[in-house]
């Protein structure tokens, strides 16, 4: 095997390992529920004074080192990336 071929093969292996590593560090709680978000017309920006942080359904969590939050909405299961500054059509004042 030529030096160039060896380097190319090594690069593929290293990039492959990097992909596994990056996938491995994705927080287990970083998940979204896109279908329900769409159904409830969830958006990442507040509507005036209406935002998730002031909603009775909001359940705040703590962010990890990568900035991923663990914020939940009790009306959107399997989703822990709810933005405190977001809002949906079911906002209800807390
Ligand atoms: S019901 Fe809507 S506004 Fe309230 S926390 Fe859930 S997503 Fe945010």
Express each pLDDT in 37-69 by its tens digit.
999 999 999 999 999 999 999 999 877 776 666
Confidence at residue 6, expressed as pLDDT on a 0 to 100 scale: 57
The answer to whether the beta carbons of residues 73 and 60 sit under 8 Å apart is no
Distance, CA of 85 to chain centre: 14
The residue contributing the CA closest to ligand 1 atom 8 is 52
Phi-psi domain of 51 (left: phi exceeds 0; alpha: psi -120 through 50; beta: other): beta
- Cβ of 91 closer than 6 Å to ligand 1, yes or no, is yes
Confidence at residue 70, expressed as pLDDT on a 0 to 100 scale: 86
Confidence at residue 42, expressed as pLDDT on a 0 to 100 scale: 98
Return all residues near 92 (Cβ < 8 A) that are at least 6 apart.
55, 56, 57
- Cβ of 70 closer than 6 Å to ligand 1, yes or no, is no
The answer to whether the beta carbons of residues 80 and 71 sit under 8 Å apart is yes
Q: Where along the chain do its domains lie?
A: 1-28, 31-94
Confidence at residue 62, expressed as pLDDT on a 0 to 100 scale: 78
> Among 3.60.40.10, 4.10.490.10, 1.10.240.10, 3.20.20.10, what is the CATH number of 31-94?
4.10.490.10
């Amino acid at each position: 095997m030529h030096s160039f071929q060896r380097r190319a093969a090594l690069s593929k292996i290293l990039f492959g390992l990097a992909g596994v590593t990056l996938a491995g560090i994705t927080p287990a709680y970083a998940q979204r529920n896109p279908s329900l978000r769409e159904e409830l017309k969830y958006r990442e920006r507040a509507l005036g004074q209406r935002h998730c942080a002031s909603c009775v359904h909001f359940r705040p969590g703590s962010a990890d080192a990568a900035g991923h939050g663990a914020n939940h909405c009790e009306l959107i299961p399997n989703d822990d990336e709810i933005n405190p500054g977001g809002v949906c059509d079911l906002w209800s004042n807390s």
